[in-house]
Amino acid sequence: MRMSAVFCVIQEMVEWIDRHLDQALSVEKIAERSGYSVWHFQRKFVQFTGLNVYHYVRVRRVINATYALVNSEKRILEIAIDNGFNCQASFTRTVRGITGYTPASIRSRFSADRQQWLKLVETLLNP
């Protein structure tokens, strides 16, 4: 029973993170919200998601941003800010580091082939 309670807390925090990706998120802030210590929360988060909290937040931001790149005409800077990045340079660096593509190349490469974009997202979620 205890593990299911922990799982529910982690699931609730994952959903909360996903709703607040446009905000500054720290492991400390998320752990505090969960009611667990930072150490315990991070350990359980990795156990249930396979990713540490910091990496999960970055990957989710990149997935949201790539979705916007592929499905909207918004400027790259606007997408970066909408997804919690402070500037286009850090956004580009993060997206390239996680996906291997720049935001502009994601837009041009995957806008016409959303199936390939879904495959990219799948590799991000299941490294």
How do residues 15-64 score in pLDDT, each as one tens digit? 999 999 888 899 999 999 999 999 999 999 999 888 899 999 999 999 99
φ/ψ region of 75 (left if φ > 0, alpha if ψ in -120 to 50, else beta) reads beta
The answer to whether the 2-51 and 56-125 domains have the same CATH topology is yes
User: What pLDDT sits at residue 23?
Assistant: 87
The number of CA neighbours under 13 Å toward the Cβ of 86 is 3
Taking only the tens place, the pLDDT of each residue in 89-105 is 999 999 999 999 999 99
| pLDDT of 1 over the 80 cut | no
Taking only the tens place, the pLDDT of each residue in 6-28 is 889 999 999 999 999 888 899 99
Q: Which residues of 83-122 are buried (b: 16+ CB within 10 A; e: fewer)?
A: bbbeebeebbebbeebbebbbeebbebbeeeeeebeebbe
Looking at the chain, the whole-number percentage of residues with pLDDT higher than 90 is: 78
Q: Where are the alpha helices (DSSP H) in 1-127?
A: 2-19, 27-34, 38-49, 53-71, 76-82, 88-99, 103-110, 114-125
Quick one: average pLDDT of 103-122?
93
- What residue segments make up the domains of the chain, in order of their start? 2-51, 56-125
Q: Return the number of other C-beta atoms located less than 10 Å from residue 16's C-beta.
A: 13
User: What pLDDT sits at residue 39?
Assistant: 95
User: What pLDDT sits at residue 108?
Assistant: 94
Q: How far apart are CA 26 and CA 16, in angstroms?
A: 13
DSSP-assigned letter for residue 26: -
Average of per-residue pLDDT values in the chain: 92
Pick the CATH number of 2-51 from 3.90.1520.10, 1.10.10.60, 3.30.70.2190, 3.50.50.60: 1.10.10.60
Pick the CATH number of 56-125 from 3.40.1360.10, 1.10.10.60, 1.10.3720.10, 3.20.20.100: 1.10.10.60
